[in-house]
């Protein structure tokens, strides 16, 4: 038995035999040709055969994965027939070299051009050029590339990396998971595995060297673990676990269409947290009733400059349009702390979590903030937008942020640009000072959203990234629960609604407590939505409201946990 | 004959927009150039168009010359606008 660890890129468990993808050797010699016309014909005929093959792959990808995924092959076809590339190839062949050599020279030149670009996205386009040129080279050499669509038994794919054209040929019925040597959570194969809803471990470094074709293996997508030649005992335990997960997922599916309602008929909203516009699909697929947190930082990260108003407008518009009128809470930029933007050139700080971040930065660098607010306001007409400010510590900050928002709104009105009149303006409660005076905030904010990840670490003064004090990260600490109660009561006393958008909102011990405390909106990662809705449907809100009074008198986090477990049973 | 556009696609002219633009121009006979930042490329060349790295907000000029230049520019404009890639300016 052999264990390999890698990056957990897509959740789930798979048990099947290894299918090692080995690409055929496409080697050739450079030689001088005598008949230029004949060589040009040979190139032309290879291009037309490659074209037919790509069209076939595109059509089959269209059937298997839909238009979005097939689009990459429309791009490949255009690369293949790119007039600039073809005339460069012809010019090279006119220098009396063979077509293979000409192709290698020209394709490498273009691939290097893209690789040298600063933009990450453009760098990746080099892979498309190499992919197309490999296919054309195989046709020139008359070597057949393996047809992976012929896989007809259950397998786990083991490869160095997966190219777009390989993955588009894989049939979900038989391909149970991926293991790759390279790549991270956002690499092509990781994204594809999540779209196919199969487990994947990437970045194992050694998988292709240590796993042989046909070996029985297990992949555990939650823990990033690969087990090759498992013992019978381990195999059996994973088989049971896999079956249990599959059955649970089946059972949860019935909650997709059902409203989020407690056993005694009280409705709440279960929403999803997103980081990118495309994450909306997963929220809707899991029956999310809204978005409780759109972290807008992603728009600013992995790039060299601030995103323009237009770019942001398009991103917000996409999200709001897809959500089709469902409540969508967007949090304004929360950068600083552990999330850096190199191009802002912020000085390093001793205590980044207590430093210059989020609203503190936005209220000083108001141009950055105003651009985002304008983009949000302009997008507001496309859906049900609610805006909240992060890291509010004082009433002055909230007022200042709101004033900037209203200023931009008036400016847009002067420019005769439409803005929704229904936008709610709220704030995150994640600093203890804000929780303690939530009654004052609730008079001025339209809603409050409790950010538990930060609220817990600030309340217990424990950095959640520091393993040595991680025991202090206690969501059920009586102080945390009492603060949450203060916030919920303060909002309700002022006729406002209150949500929660930290990990805690989907935690099975916390959910009964939060329901009993009267929380209105639970926002969590999409994958937790159905489980939480299932749990809620079994709980009585009125009974919990009584039990919560007891819970708030308990003395420690573990007493709380124990009590809730007993109540649930 | 030429027309200018302001790019509004949130990611700029990346693979999908480039594919749409190049596909819209390819069927026509006229020669067509895309100019951005004083650099011109063949609009029928996807590599050339992508290599320009055109970001959102950029102003590009598309000039065509040939028997069907007007039809070509109309088609390009239609694709720009209906696919949300850019607006005429």
In this structure, are residues B36 and B60 in contact, taking their beta carbons and an 8 Å threshold? yes
Question: From A123, which residue of chain B is nearest by alpha-carbon distance?
Answer: B51
Convert the pLDDT of each residue in A492-507 to its tens digit: 999 999 999 987 999 9
Residue A367 pLDDT: 94
Check CB contact under 8 Å for A310 and B8. yes
- Partners of residue B26 in chain A, C-beta under 8 Å: 78, 81
Residue A164 pLDDT: 66
Token pair in block for residue A141: 């050499």
Closest CA to A447 of A417, A477, A419, A423: A423
Measured between alpha carbons, how far is A161 from A183 in angstroms, rounded to an integer?
Answer: 7
Residue A193 pLDDT: 81
Question: From B15, which residue of chain A is nearest by alpha-carbon distance?
Answer: A75
A447: which strand partners?
A497
- Which segments of chain A have a pLDDT < 50? none
Convert the pLDDT of each residue in A272-324 to its tens digit: 999 888 889 889 999 999 999 999 988 888 677 888 899 899 999 999 999 99
Measured between alpha carbons, how far is A171 from A362 in angstroms, rounded to an integer?
Answer: 48
Token pair in block for residue A435: 């929780």
Measured between alpha carbons, how far is A228 from A230 in angstroms, rounded to an integer?
Answer: 6
Cβ-nearest to B14 among A85, A110, A121: A121
Helices (H), A8-98: 36-65, 67-80, 83-93
Token pair in block for residue A36: 């230029």
Q: Where are the domains of chain A?
A: 2-20+147-251, 36-141, 265-568
Residue A301 pLDDT: 80
Token pair in block for residue A377: 């306001």
In this structure, are residues A83 and A106 in contact, taking their beta carbons and an 8 Å threshold? no
Catalytic residue among B6, B8, B12, B14: B14
The fold adopted by the segment(s) A36-141 is: Enzyme I; Chain A, domain 2 (1.10.274)
Check CB contact under 8 Å for A82 and B46. yes
Give the closest-approach CA distance of B55 to chain A in angstroms: 9
* Residues sharing a CB contact under 8 Å with residue A233, sequence separation 6 or more, in sequence order: none
Residue A338 pLDDT: 67
Q: Do domains A2-20+147-251 and A36-141 have the same CATH topology?
A: no
Superfamily of domain A265-568: Phosphoenolpyruvate-binding domains (3.20.20.60)
Surface of A (217-236) touching B: CB under 8 A: none
Give the closest-approach CA distance of A84 to chain B in angstroms: 6
Cβ-nearest to B45 among A84, A314, A318: A84
Query: Phi then psi for A429, rounded to 5 degrees?
Result: -105, 100
Q: Which domains does chain B have, with CATH numbers?
A: 2-88 (3.30.1340.10)
- In CATH, what number does A2-20+147-251 get? 3.50.30.10
Give the closest-approach CA distance of A329 to chain B in angstroms: 21
User: Long-range CB contacts (< 8 A, 24+ apart) of A65-68?
Assistant: A65/A168, A65/A195
- Partners of residue B17 in chain A, C-beta under 8 Å: none
Measured between alpha carbons, how far is A262 from A267 in angstroms, rounded to an integer?
Answer: 6
A430 touches chain B (CB under 8 A): no
């Amino acid at each position: 038995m052999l264990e390999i660890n890698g990056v957990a890129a897509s959740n789930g468990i798979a048990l099947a035999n290894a299918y090692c993808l080995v690409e055929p050797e496409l080697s050739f010699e450079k030689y001088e040709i005598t008949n230029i016309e004949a060589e040009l014909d040979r190139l032309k005929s290879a291009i037309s055969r490659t074209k037919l093959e790509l069209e076939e792959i595109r059509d089959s990808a269209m059937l298997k994965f839909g238009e979005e995924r097939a689009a990459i092959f429309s791009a490949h076809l255009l690369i293949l027939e790119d007039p600039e590339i073809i005339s460069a190839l012809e010019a090279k062949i006119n220098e009396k070299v063979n077509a293979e050599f000409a192709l290698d020279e020209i394709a490498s030149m273009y691939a290097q051009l893209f690789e040298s670009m600063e933009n990450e996205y453009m760098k990746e386009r080099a892979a498309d050029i190499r992919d197309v040129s490999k296919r054309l080279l195989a046709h020139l050499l008359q070597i057949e590339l393996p047809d992976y669509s012929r896989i007809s038994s259950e397998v786990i794919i083991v490869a160095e990396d997966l190219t777009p054209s390989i993955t588009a040929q894989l049939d979900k019925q038989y391909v149970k998971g991926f293991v790759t040597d390279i790549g991270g959570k956002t690499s092509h194969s990781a994204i594809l595995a999540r779209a196919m809803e199969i487990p994947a471990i990437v970045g194992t470094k050694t998988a292709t060297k240590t796993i042989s074709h046909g070996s029985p293996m297990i992949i555990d997508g939650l823990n990033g673990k690969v087990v090759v030649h498992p013992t019978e005992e381990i195999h059996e335990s994973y088989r049971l676990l896999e079956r249990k997960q599959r059955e649970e997922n089946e059972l949860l599916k019935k909650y997709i269409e059902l409203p989020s309602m407690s056993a005694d008929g009280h409705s709440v909203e279960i929403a999803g947290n997103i980081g990118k516009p495309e994450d909306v699909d997963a929220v809707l697929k899991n029956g999310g009733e809204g978005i409780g947190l759109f972290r807008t930082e992603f728009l600013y990260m992995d790039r060299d400059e601030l995103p323009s108003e237009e770019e942001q407008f398009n991103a917000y518009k996409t999200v709001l349009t897809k959500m089709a009128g469902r409540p969508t809470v967007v949090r304004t930029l929360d950068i600083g702390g552990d999330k850096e933007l190199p191009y802002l050139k912020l000085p390093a700080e001793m205590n980044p979590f207590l430093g210059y971040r989020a609203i503190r930065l936005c209220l000083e660098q108001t141009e950055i903030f105003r651009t985002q607010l304008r983009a949000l306001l302009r997008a507001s007409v496309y859906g049900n937008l609610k805006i909240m400010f992060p890291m509010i510590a004082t009433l002055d900050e909230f007022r200042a942020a709101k004033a900037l928002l209203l200023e931009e709104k008036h400016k847009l009105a002067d420019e005769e640009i439409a803005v929704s009149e229904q936008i709610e303006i709220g704030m995150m409660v994640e600093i203890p000072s804000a929780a303690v005076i939530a009654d004052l905030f609730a008079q001025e904010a339209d809603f409050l959203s409790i950010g538990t990840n930060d609220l817990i670490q600030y309340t217990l003064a424990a950095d959640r990234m520091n393993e040595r004090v991680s025991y202090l990260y206690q969501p059920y600490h009586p102080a945390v629960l009492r603060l949450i109660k203060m916030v919920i009561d303060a909002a309700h006393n002022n006729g406002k609604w209150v949500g929660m958008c930290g990990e805690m909102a989907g935690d099975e011990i916390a959910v009964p407590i939060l329901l009993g405390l009267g929380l209105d909106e639970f926002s969590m990662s999409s994958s937790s939505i159905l489980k939480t809705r299932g749990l809620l449907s079994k709980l009585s809100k009125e009974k919990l409201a009584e039990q919560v009074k007891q819970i708030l008198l308990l003395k420690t986090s573990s007493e709380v946990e124990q009590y809730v477990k007993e109540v649930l049973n | 004959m030429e027309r200018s556009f302001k790019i509004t696609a949130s990611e700029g002219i990346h693979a999908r927009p480039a594919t749409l633009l190049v596909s819209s121009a390819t069927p026509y006979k006229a020669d067509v150039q895309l100019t951005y930042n004083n650099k011109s490329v063949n609009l029928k060349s996807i590599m050339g168009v992508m290599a320009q790295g055109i970001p959102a907000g950029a102003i590009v000029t598309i000039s065509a010359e040939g028997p069907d230049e007007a039809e070509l520019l109309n088609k390009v404009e239609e694709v720009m606008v209906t696919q949300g890639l850019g607006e005429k300016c």
